[in-house]
Amino acid sequence: MSTVQKIPVLFLGATGYLGGSVLSRLLAHPSAKSLEITALVRSEEKAKKLEAFGLKTAIGTIQDLELLETLASQAHIVFSIINADDDPHMQAILRGLKKRHATGDVPILIHTSGTGVFVSHANGMYATEEVYDDNKPEQFEALPHEALHRSVDELVIAADKEGYAKTYIILPSTIYGIPSTPLTRAGIQHAHSIQIPFVTKASIGRGQGGKVGKGASRWNHISNDDTAELFTVVYEAVTKPGNTVPHGREGLFIGENGTYAWGEVSDEIAKVLFEKGVGKSPEATTFTSDELVQYFGSEFVGNLLAGSNCVGVANRSRALGWKPKHTKADLLASIKAEVEAALKQ
């Protein structure tokens, strides 16, 4: 009796805040039995836990470039949900995919970038009027090579243009919410994002909810759950035989479900801290320059994380059939749990 050949998948970011949620959906997907998923992880402990879910594992980091190249050369599909600003590891993945292509396959790369690629600095003083549309690749092509995430995105798009892989880039915005997945319950997946927890911890450190500048700058928001669903929708679409999903320079998929002002998030943090007796006022006050250095590492990082503008629209993502459910009200409601988690830490 012949056995059906499984599709080899390389998954990078299995233990991460977003990657774990995407992987959980992939493991529960109707196609899961047809996949042979290999996850790159740092520790034997996490490897054993993932193997209990039916995965193969490799021990290493994205700095192990030869290993990364070998693993990619063995995969038909690569999910890259890791550092979006490191050229060498992406170059290693692409070398591997080029080797895979030489065997007669056209591999698929689903890469995670972020809307930070079109961030503009405002120091929290004003909202942007510029909006990026994932249906307009020319907007992205006009971005400087030095823009956040851009150099890696350029490598990914160039690989598609050369024809040895089909590439798709997903660009989440501010991701929020504490995920509850089989992988978080197994102690595998990291449960917290970056931007809002950073502001939360800084606010706790100073004993008062804080904002950058006037809190006027705006970003898009997207829940962890809706972001993982976007990956699922893209995966389903691009693996469907005969699909006509745009790839390469047009294969851009923003993750957003509206916008928020950073001041709204900061005020909600301040409100929760005040209710818990940690903050002096239910309204956020402005971080001083010294506080930005103390709690964010530098004024630049503080302004980037919570004082910049970054607004896009997910027209191409929605056209693919993606329907995000969680709104700004859900974003603001999620902050209480983030504050409580940070206070416990």
- Asked if residue 37 is part of any domain, the answer here is yes
- Asked if residue 220 is part of any domain, the answer here is yes
Task: Give the whole-angstrom CA distance, residue 167 versus residue 123.
Answer: 34
| 143 exposure class (CB count in 10 Å sphere: 0-12, 13-18, 19+) | middle
- Asked if residue 1 is part of any domain, the answer here is no
DSSP state of 310: B
- Asked if residue 26 is part of any domain, the answer here is yes
pLDDT at position 2, please?
44
Answer yes or no: are the C-beta atoms of 181 and 14 closer than 8 Å: no
Give the CATH number of the domain where residue 159 resides. 3.40.50.720
Q: What is the mean pLDDT of the chain?
A: 97
pLDDT bucket at 52, cuts 50 / 70 / 90? very high
**Neighbouring residues of 82: CB distance < 8 A, sequence distance ≥ 6:** 12, 13, 16, 19, 62, 89, 112
Task: Give the whole-angstrom CA distance, residue 325 versus residue 256.
Answer: 10
pLDDT bucket at 3, cuts 50 / 70 / 90? low
- Which structural domain, as residue segments, surrounds residue 199? 7-344
253-255-261-266 Cα dihedral, nearest 10 degrees: -140
DSSP 273-305: HHHTT--S-SS-EEPPHHHHHHHHSSHHHHHHH
User: Each residue of 103-142: pLDDT tens digit?
Assistant: 999 999 999 999 999 999 999 999 999 999 999 999 999 9
| Chain-centroid distance, C-alpha 239 | 21
- Asked if residue 2 is part of any domain, the answer here is no
Q: Give yes or no for residue 335 having a pLDDT over 70.
A: yes
Q: Number of folded domains in the chain? A: 1
User: Each residue of 272-283: pLDDT tens digit?
Assistant: 999 999 999 999
**Neighbouring residues of 258: CB distance < 8 A, sequence distance ≥ 6:** 220, 221, 327, 328
Question: Quick one: tokens of 55?
Answer: 């995965």
Block residue for tokens 């042979």 = 36
pLDDT at position 114, please?
97
